A and B are shown apart, each in its own frame.
Chain A
Amino acid sequence: METIRQTPDGAASCGAITDMQGPSPTRRLFDKLLSLRWVLLAVIIVSGFIYIPIVENFRVSMTNRDIFTGEVSNVGLTNYQRLLDDPVVWRALLNNTFYALISIFFQVFCAFVLAAIIEGLRNRRVRNFWRAVYFIPSAISTTVTGLLFYFIYQPDVGLMDAALTFLGLEQFSHPWLALESTAIFGIIAMSQWQGFGYSTLLFSIAIQKIPRELYDAATMDGAGPVRQLFSITFPMAREMSGLMIIVTITGAFQVFNEVMVMTSGGPSNSSQVLGTWFYEQAFILNDFGYGAAIAAIIFVVTMLTGIAQVWYTRKRRVQL
């Protein structure tokens, strides 16, 4: 695997005679600089493939480029002005917001309650079982679940309609993905089904960290399980909830696969989110400048949530 190299300090420590004054300042500086070799590769890769392209994206958003003629024209902030007049951008922002709000309700609030219920079960094996079952969809690719629900939602032949017919509720059958008013909600519903088990698992871990004595004391005082939930579990796991809200918002603004697979943003752009509208402009219509401007919105939102996350964990010192 490796040969013993003569490192500067190695040479000193191998022999019996050690230099009492330590290595010279230049040698020390050299050692310090040499230690940069550990991070050099990561710094180059991260700069080359993440930071520089992102800076480049802002440069591209100020230009319009025609791939067929190779002409690049500088258009300043025109693409950003276009954003303001583009109804689909607003629609996409609204859809991303719906995504975030609904996900916060199901994947933070409901998942928390569910985790509390599961952790309240006596048998450890049973607890593990439920957590694992609910987590399974999170391990599967969004493409698969998206396609699956595309089939489930299919009018007339899908599982959803069959189930409603089976239960005698035909009047509620509804072509979710085919209507402009409901397409995005059909997609969001799928996401909740897929994602709640993941947050439930994380909340379970957070709840396990709560000292048992608190519950014992509360039981002594005659508090029932519901009271305990509100007076102990909720407050104690609040940090986790704050974090989960931030993570959920970040995820909601980066949504792409499920929309692409289930509706491609249709019908009539009613289920576009920022990610899919960016894709359509940049890679289908070759309008790179405008696509880069849409990407800039995504950048701003994820940057803000990222900063919020760092600030939050610093402030709260989240103990996991």
Chain B
Amino acid sequence: MSNTDHHQQQGRVTMKTSKHIKTLLLSACSISGLVLANPAAAEVVVADPDAQVDHSGTLSILTKFGSQQLSPYFVDIAEKYQELHPDVSIELIQETDDSVKDKTKTLVATNSLPDIFFTWTGTWGGNFIRGDRAVDLTPVVGPDSEWGKTLTPAALDAFVYNDRNFGVPLYLDAKFMGYNKKIFADVGVEVPESFEELLVACDSIHEAGITPVSLGNKESWPVVHYLGQLLVYNVPVATLEKDFDPSTAEYSDPGYVASLQQFDEFRQRCTDGAPNGTSYETAVQAFSDERSAMYYQEILEFDESATEETTMKPEDFGFFKLPVPEGAKGDPDAIEGAPEGYMVSAASDNIPLAIDFLKFVTSQENGKILSASPYGQPSAVIGGSDETTMNPNVVAGMADIDKASYLMPWLDTVNHPRVAAAWLSGLQSLTGGSMAPEEVMSAVRDAASAARQ
């Protein structure tokens, strides 16, 4: 199936183009039309739980399932929904992980956000709340509502802004250390119980001439993910949440520097080569090719890092939560991860229909389809998984997420963009050995104070 199948909107755009050519010269001469007014209402649009659903008209949806593997999911659901409601026509705009941000920004800038759109949690989702572009869904999907009770509480909670529910979580994501059971057995190491044991295991694997953990940090977010998990182990959650907000940020807790020192030691003992010059893809490949024993990855990737086609076979794949350092003062039961989900556009002229469609997507049946292969995305619907059709590792990973006391959001999405940029670049320097932990923290503090103004 080619990518173009999922870009029906392209056709619309080019059809419009010919009309635009006529106005082009006019537009070129008058720039005044470029400062776009924002028609979004000053009032927050709140969903009405008693609204009648009018099953007619078009419904446009921006998804993040544009990749070959994932794109059929929404295509199939849209077909099923249209069978139930023949007067509804669904327009899908399917983007990939890389392109969805760009696409969303364009749609926002031109005030043409679709009725339903994909969003991450944290700052990215907050943008839509700030701009009053998302519908307040509390009456329909709040934690006490009928629909809200069918969704995993932690996932639902991640889309709460100003104590109101703005998003519907679709699936959960979290970070685990994947490992190669065969290599572990050959070298004679056990799954480590503590962070210190992990470092010792790395030494043994090194001695056997294998890279313990493959790390590709050219894109600079992979190390940020390591750090997020270490921070929640070393710094109390309340302190972290206070520091996420530039107006109250201090970054004075000693756990910050401790986490950075732990990572620095991990980098020296567990990784090889020059991580900053290695792409993320290359690191995944090294793990799949059995050239490394471990690789820190998202549960969404479990289905991809060991397949029948890779050198490493699915039965050799195991995973564990990044182990807790001795004497850490944070929350040892927390896990780094975040749900991803959808919001309804405040500018939509058929909000009840959009809500009805989202309810349909988050049914148990459709949740099970999403959790199973080939998608392997752990559904945020309670009971939205069927262990018989799923990769057992994904099942076990989901159980771990359910047990977690707190979901630590990704550092680069929860922080103000400028603070996130300081984390990204500071940690890359730490990884390259050109910055000390204290220096990284002072760069983060500076960015937070700059962001406050």
A interface footprint on B99-132 (CB within 8 Å = 1, 0 otherwise) = 0000001001100000000000000000110111
Among the listed B29, B127, B130, B429, which residue makes an inter-chain contact with A267, where contact means beta carbons less than 8 Å apart?
B429
Contacts of B133 in A (CB 8 A): 68
A298 beta carbon closer than 8 Å to chain B: no
Contacting A178 at CB < 8 Å: which of B130, B275, B425? Answer: B275
Q: Of B27, B274, B421, B429, which contacts A155 at CB under 8 A? A: B274
Cα distance, A72 to B435, chains bound together (Å): 37
Partner of A268, one of B105, B128, B434: B434
Residues of B within 8 A of A47 (CB): 28-29
Q: How far is the CB of A260 from chain B (nearest CB, A)?
A: 13
Distance in angstroms between the alpha carbons of A69 and B278 in the assembled complex:
38
| Residues on the B chain within 8 Å of A176, using CB | 277
Residues of A within 8 A of B425 (CB): 268-269
Asked if B432 contacts A68 (CB within 8 A), the reply is: no
Are A175 and B426 interface neighbours, CB within 8 A?
no
Q: Hey, which chain B residues are within 8 Å of A180, CB to CB? A: 429, 432, 434
Known contacts A49-B28, A67-B105; A154/B277 CB under 8 A: yes
Residue from B36, B431, B434 within 8 A of A70 (CB atoms): B36
Are A175's CB and B434's CB within 8 A?
no
Residues in A neighbouring B275, C-beta threshold 8 A: 178
Contact at B109–A67, with CB atoms within 8 Å?
Answer: yes
B132 CB contacts on chain A under 8 angstroms: 69
The answer to whether A70 touches B277 (Cβ under 8 A) is: no
Chain B's nearest CB lies how many Å from the CB of A141?
20
Contacting pair B429 A268 (CB below 8 A): yes
Interface presence of A66 (CB below 8 A): yes
**How big is the A interface, by class?**
35 or more
- The smallest C-beta distance from A153 to any residue of chain B, in angstroms, reads 8
B411 to chain A, nearest CB (A): 16
Would you call B277 and A175 a contact (CB within 8 A)?
yes
Whether A48 pairs with B28 at a CB distance below 8 angstroms is: yes
Given contacts A175-B274, A177-B277, A266-B220, contact A72 B35 (CB under 8 A): yes
Binary A-proximity of B417-444 (CB < 8 A = 1, otherwise 0): 1100100011011011011000000000
Instruction: Check A52 for interface membership: any CB of B closer than 8 A.
Output: yes
Minimal Cβ-Cβ distance residue in A for B420 = A285
Where chain B touches its partner, the secondary structure class is: helix
Instruction: Check if B209 is an interface residue, CB within 8 A of chain A.
Output: no
Query: Would B277 and A178 count as touching, CB distance under 8 A?
Result: yes
Contact of B37 with A70 in the complex, beta carbons under 8 Å: yes
Q: Which residues of chain A come closer than 8 Å to B274, judged between CB atoms?
A: 155, 175, 178-179
Given the complex, which residues of A lie within 8 Å of B29, measured CB to CB?
44, 47-48
A286 within 8 A of B: yes
Chain A residues 258 to 278 lying within 8 A of chain B, measured CB to CB, are: 263-264, 266-269
In chain A, positions 151-165 with a C-beta closer than 8 Å to chain B are 153-156
Enumerate 18 A-B pairs (CB-CB under 8 Å) in ascending A order.
Answer: A52-B31, A53-B31, A56-B31, A67-B105, A67-B108, A68-B130, A69-B130, A178-B218, A178-B274, A178-B432, A179-B276, A180-B429, A266-B276, A267-B277, A267-B431, A268-B276, A268-B426, A268-B434
Within 8 Å CB of B127, what residues of A?
Answer: 68
List residues of chain B with CB within 8 A of the CB of A175: 273-274, 277
- Bound form: Cα–Cα A142–B84 in Å: 52
Residues in A with CB closer than 8 Å to B399 are: none
Name which residue of chain B comes closest to A86, CB basis: B450
Q: With contacts A178-B277, A267-B429 known, what are 16 further pairs, Cβ within 8 A?
A: A44-B25, A47-B29, A48-B28, A49-B28, A67-B105, A67-B109, A68-B133, A70-B38, A156-B273, A178-B278, A179-B276, A180-B434, A266-B276, A267-B218, A268-B425, A285-B421
| Interface residue? A45 (CB, 8 A) | yes
- Per-position 1/0 for A40-68, Cβ under 8 A of B: 00001101110011001000000000111
The 8 A-B pairs with the shortest beta carbon distances in the complex, nearest first, are A178-B277, A70-B38, A48-B28, A178-B274, A68-B131, A175-B274, A267-B276, A69-B131
Contact of B40 with A by CB under 8 A: yes
What's the Cα separation between A274 and B28 when bound, in Å? 27
